[in-house]
Structure 1
Amino acid sequence: MFHHFLAYAAFHASRWLPRAQRLRFQVILVTFAVVVVTPQLYVLTRPRSSRYCQQPLLNNLIAFIILSFMATGFAVALSLLDPVPESFRVAFHLFGVVSFTQGLCTTLLTLQAADCAWTTTELYYLSLVLSWACILSAVFYLVRGCLWVISKLWPNWVKDMRLWNNV
């Protein structure tokens, strides 16, 4: 869910700015995307990363890089579109499902690849960092989903200040 989270955060951050200042934000967004993709590309080009590892961490990294570029595209497009068309929302949420699947695969492969820390050190540790990023973003969406369910079951629970004054 890391890639979906990045595009989601960029979308909401762009909505805080007036439309006239969103071009500056997009320059910052592309710079941030370069900062996120650069370590991935660096590890991919390292000769040590192509050594044998019993888990396909290198293939997983390639898929992760592809999704990073897709997330950058979604982030830029979402900051440009106002309002966002329904078909684009559906595509973005389908991208979220793919991103969740990729994060799950990254985490499971990293858990099973402890021996790869000796043969492909950079690849293993990058995979470990990306796994934690996926886990933390999944926790964010889990908390957000729970708050959404609470708001649907008890609509005025958060908004009603009388509940908070009695505490």
Structure 2
Amino acid sequence: MLWQYCWGHSVYHLTRWFPRNNRLKIRIVMMIFTIALLIPQFFVLAEPHTERFCGQHLFEFLVVSIVYTFCMIGFSFIFSLMDPVPWEVKFAFHIFGVITFVTGIVFTFFTSMAAECKVTTPELYYFSLAAVVITVVSLVFFAIVLPFWVINWWCVNSVLDYKNRDGICYEPANCCSCVWHI
């Protein structure tokens, strides 16, 4: 379920691509898309087949995913409105990221063992499969970016220093700042 953390991270950076006095439209669009992420989850939850028994805990993870999506909506809303974002909110968001990471790993494990659920609860199984794929893509993204975050934290501004326009990642991050820190 790491995709919720990745989505909030993306909302933060996407809104900052726009000038401060011209962010209203992107805020509205991003909030519509963010809230729309609940639609497939509630659709699967409302399906009559979802009530059937599945050997793995996919239904419980669907409910957890809905709860995490509400948390993601809150963080996305805060990130799109506050500038600068207080460090307490960032810290809480990163704790949310660790929680979604652990949940995503467990969810991936349960979904990989849920082949029989393909017959009994097909909508739930395919939703879980899609969520696992998006979680793995988010995990790969963060696995690529994480070493740069750690190096920049360990040796401050060695990887990216916007103020002095310096660092080994200045040019790529200047062109695509959405991959950088929150």
TM-score scaled to structure 2, two decimals? 0.81
User: C-alpha offsets along residues 35-82 of structure 1, whole Å, 9 cap, x if unaligned?
Assistant: 321111100000101101111111110100110111011011011111
Distance 1:86 1:146 in 2: 21
Residues 5-44 of structure 1: pairs in structure 2 closer than 5 A: 5-44=6-45
Paired residues of 1:10 and 1:79 also in contact (CA < 8 A) = yes
Distance 1:133 1:95 in 2: 17
The residue identity in structure 1 corresponding to 2:116 is D
Larger Rg: 1
Measure how far apart 1:18 and its partner are: 1.5
Distance 2:29 2:36 in 1: 11
Residues 78-89 of structure 1: pairs in structure 2 closer than 5 A: 78-89=79-90
Q: Which residue matches 1:110?
A: 111
Stretch of structure 1 that moved more, 96-105 or 57-66: 96-105
Paired residues of 1:55 and 1:109 also in contact (CA < 8 A) = yes
Q: Which runs of 5 or more residues in structure 1 are unaligned? A: 161-167
Distance 1:17 1:158 in 2: 22
The residue identity in structure 1 corresponding to 2:114 is A
The residue identity in structure 2 corresponding to 1:137 is S
The residue identity in structure 1 corresponding to 2:72 is A
Distance 1:60 1:159 in 2: 39
Paired residues of 2:35 and 2:73 also in contact (CA < 8 A) = no
Q: Which residue matches 2:61?
A: 60
Secondary structure (helix, strand or coil) at the match of 1:114 reads coil
Q: Which residue matches 1:128?
A: 129
Paired residues of 1:33 and 1:72 also in contact (CA < 8 A) = yes
Distance 2:44 2:115 in 1: 18
Figure out how many residues of one structure are paired with residues of the other and give that number: 160
The residue identity in structure 2 corresponding to 1:67 is Y
The residue identity in structure 1 corresponding to 2:71 is M
The residue identity in structure 2 corresponding to 1:140 is F
The residue identity in structure 2 corresponding to 1:50 is E
The residue identity in structure 2 corresponding to 1:61 is L
Distance 2:40 2:169 in 1: 41
Secondary structure (helix, strand or coil) at the match of 1:82 reads coil
User: C-alpha offsets along residues 89-139 of structure 1, whole Å, 9 cap, x if unaligned?
Assistant: 111111111111221122111011111100000100000000011111011
Paired residues of 1:64 and 1:102 also in contact (CA < 8 A) = no
User: C-alpha offsets along residues 18-48 of structure 1, whole Å, 9 cap, x if unaligned?
Assistant: 2222221221112112332111110000010
TM-score scaled to structure 1, two decimals? 0.88
Identity percentage over the alignment? 34
Q: Which residue matches 2:149?
A: 148
Q: Which residue matches 1:99?
A: 100
Q: Which runs of 5 or more residues in structure 2 are unaligned? A: 160-166, 172-182
